[in-house]
Amino acid sequence: MAATIKVTNPATGELIQEVKADTEEEIHLALRRGHESFRKWSKTNAHERSRLLKLWSKKIQEHKDDLAKIMTMESGKPLHESLGEVDYATSYIDWYAEEAKRLYGRTIPANTESKRIIVSRQPVGLVAAITPWNFPAAMMTRKAAPALAAGCTFVVKPAEDTPLTTMKLIELAHEAGIPADVIQCVNGYGSEVGKIFTESKYVRKITFTGSTPVGKLLIRDSASTVKHVSMELGGHAPVIVAHDADIDLAVEQTIASKFRNAGQTCICANRVLVHESIVEEFAEKLTKEVKKLKVGNGLEKGTQIGPVINEKGFNKIVSQVNDAISKGAEVLCGNKYNANREKGYFFVYPTVLKNVNENMKIMQEETFGPILPITTFQELEEAVNIANSTPYGLAAYFFTNDYRTGIYLHEHLDFGIIGWNDGSPSAAHAPFGGMKESGIGREGGVEGIEPYLETKYLSIGGI
């Protein structure tokens, strides 16, 4: 295993810090500690766990500015987005600090006078999490907070690109009084650490946010020990703009959905399907606004689009754009880059493409970049068929002021998260997750703690 991980700033290519990678023995030890501390932590009363989670949230808020700066430096996202992510990350901790106190069981009327039936909930055990680089804080807390609230212990492996935010969050958890073995961080390369996690007999649950291919591997490898799995995987979000839509709202919300984190979120709009009667107006208004977006280093004031995370991500974006253009897409703006492979930074200017069709890679594969392809439809059914045509089912958006259209789309779109006149649906109090190859399970809301709980049924006889 590699001895260190070089963390660089994707806006400049400069080295920020070299992080020690944990050895196989160290990772095994962390898992054993997590397992051994489970007995005590799971028996800590829910009010105490809630109190500690609230203290953790408070500590994070006290370090909001430092954390946001670290996040921008290692992930490239604009500082105002990093500050927003700190709030988003603590909103999960605050929510599950409350939910910890509401893990209710139930009693079931028995079919004989001599019995009583009690159903209770208990934590699944040690949870191992693997998180991505696009939301280094929030993707961790929305796993750690329900896990700890439920009484599970937790070990996380952050993405190699962005371990520093996570390491800081774990440090703050310990400062807040959460025992060191209850929440831990290990560093290393995905496939190596993933294997150790899935093969470990101590780990009872794997929770992962990342790409669909890696999610499939983790599901497969978890089978040998029948672990619980939660998977937040890739997406390919459609935006459907119906003929009666409020076009200005649709433009504003599509931009909010598409260009957050330079288009690198799994619920980013990945294709826009516009009714053919309004496509000219929509495309013109959208392009006018997209051209105003400021590209730059996330630490600079006013930056709205930072760099993309790394060369691999950059190459994928460029190949999708070139493929679309070679197959007839029209460039309305963008298709411009500021990249330096030697230094290691990659900026992609926000790009709008028109006349795209389903034969283009961009209409099938997740883009993870600031590229917005527009296509048209005539009938709603056609829009639904196009929207549902990929293996993904994470987020979908539609714009209409007609309630029949809205209800029709809501009922026919095979997606776990739907935004109706809303491009920013994520919230700690609502269940986030995908259908089809976009995942298993939900994070957030009352649903988000369920995956960390087992149901135990007690039948008392002889009464």
- Segment interacting with ligand ADP, rule: CB under 6 A, options 84-92, 189-197, 286-294, 398-406: 189-197
> Quick one: 56 or 208, whose CB is closer to ligand ADP?
208
Q: Is 232 a catalytic residue?
A: yes
- Segment interacting with ligand ADP, rule: CB under 6 A, options 49-57, 207-215, 327-335, 345-353: 207-215
Q: How far is CA 306 from CA 74, 176, 313, in A?
A: 11, 32, 13
> Quick one: 234 or 419, whose CB is closer to ligand ADP?
234
Q: Is 267 in the site for ligand ADP (CB under 6 A)?
A: no
Residue from 10, 132, 136, 393 touching ligand ADP (CB under 6 A): that is 132
DSSP 8-state assignment for residue 429: T
Catalytic-labelled residue, pool 81, 85, 160, 232: 232
* Residue 367 C-beta: closest distance to ligand ADP, Å: 12
Catalytic-labelled residue, pool 74, 81, 185, 266: 266
Residue from 217, 325, 331, 430 touching ligand ADP (CB under 6 A): that is 217
153 CB neighbour count, 10 Å cutoff = 30
* Residue 251 C-beta: closest distance to ligand ADP, Å: 28
Work out whether strand 395-399 and strand 417-420 pair parallel, antiparallel, or are unpaired. parallel
> Quick one: 266 or 274, whose CB is closer to ligand ADP?
266
Question: Residue count at the site for ligand ADP (CB under 6 A)?
Answer: 13
Q: Which of 399, 400, 296, 289 is nearest to 78 (CA)?
A: 296
Residue from 123, 190, 370, 433 touching ligand ADP (CB under 6 A): that is 190
Residue from 79, 89, 128, 130 touching ligand ADP (CB under 6 A): that is 130
Provide the token pair at 191: 């496939």
- What are the φ and ψ backbone dihedral angles of 280, each rounded to 5 degrees? -65, -50
Q: Is 19 in the site for ligand ADP (CB under 6 A)?
A: no
> Quick one: 97 or 231, whose CB is closer to ligand ADP?
231
> Quick one: 162 or 375, whose CB is closer to ligand ADP?
162
Give the integer Cα–Cα distance in Å for 38 and 130. Answer: 19
Q: Is 170 in the site for ligand ADP (CB under 6 A)?
A: no
Q: Is 26 a catalytic residue?
A: no
Q: Which of 154, 204, 193 is nearest to 174 (CA)?
A: 154
Give the integer Cα–Cα distance in Å for 214 and 230. Answer: 13
Q: Is 286 in the site for ligand ADP (CB under 6 A)?
A: no
Q: Is 214 in the site for ligand ADP (CB under 6 A)?
A: yes
DSSP 8-state assignment for residue 49: H
* Residue 203 C-beta: closest distance to ligand ADP, Å: 13
Q: Is 111 in the site for ligand ADP (CB under 6 A)?
A: no
DSSP 8-state assignment for residue 430: S
- Segment interacting with ligand ADP, rule: CB under 6 A, options 1-9, 113-121, 127-135, 379-387: 127-135
The identity of residue 21, as a single letter, is A
* Residue 21 C-beta: closest distance to ligand ADP, Å: 11
DSSP 8-state assignment for residue 265: S
* Residue 134 C-beta: closest distance to ligand ADP, Å: 7
Cα dihedral 52, 54, 58, 63, rounded to 10, equals 60
Counted residue by residue, the chain has a size of 463
> Quick one: 162 or 376, whose CB is closer to ligand ADP?
162
Give the integer Cα–Cα distance in Å for 75 and 191. Answer: 21
Q: Kindly write down the DSSP assignment for every residue of 11-33, as one continuous string.
A: TT--EEEEEEPPPHHHHHHHHHH
Provide the token pair at 218: 């983790």
Q: Is 211 in the site for ligand ADP (CB under 6 A)?
A: yes
Q: Is 194 in the site for ligand ADP (CB under 6 A)?
A: yes
Q: Is 219 in the site for ligand ADP (CB under 6 A)?
A: no
Q: Is 416 in the site for ligand ADP (CB under 6 A)?
A: no
Q: Is 360 in the site for ligand ADP (CB under 6 A)?
A: no
Residues 364-393 that bind ligand ADP (CB under 6 A): none
The identity of residue 238, as a single letter, is P
Residue from 81, 160, 181, 437 touching ligand ADP (CB under 6 A): that is 160
Q: Which of 36, 451, 32 is nearest to 206 (CA)?
A: 451
Residues 290-319 that bind ligand ADP (CB under 6 A): none
Q: Kindly write down the DSSP assignment for every residue of 214-234, as one continuous string.
A: HHHHHHHHHGGGT-EEEEE--
Q: Is 433 in the site for ligand ADP (CB under 6 A)?
A: no
Q: How far is CA 178 from CA 49, 155, 214, 319, in A?
A: 8, 13, 30, 46
Give the integer Cα–Cα distance in Å for 329 and 390. Answer: 20
Q: Which of 102, 122, 118, 103 is nearest to 39 (CA)?
A: 122
Provide the token pair at 140: 């961790």
Q: Which of 96, 106, 227 is nearest to 150 (CA)?
A: 96
> Quick one: 105 or 213, whose CB is closer to ligand ADP?
213
Q: Is 210 in the site for ligand ADP (CB under 6 A)?
A: yes
> Quick one: 151 or 393, whose CB is closer to ligand ADP?
393
Give the integer Cα–Cα distance in Å for 48 and 51. Answer: 5
| Footprint on this chain of ligand ADP (rule: CB under 6 A) | 130-132, 159-160, 190-191, 194, 210-211, 214, 217-218
Active site residues: 232, 266
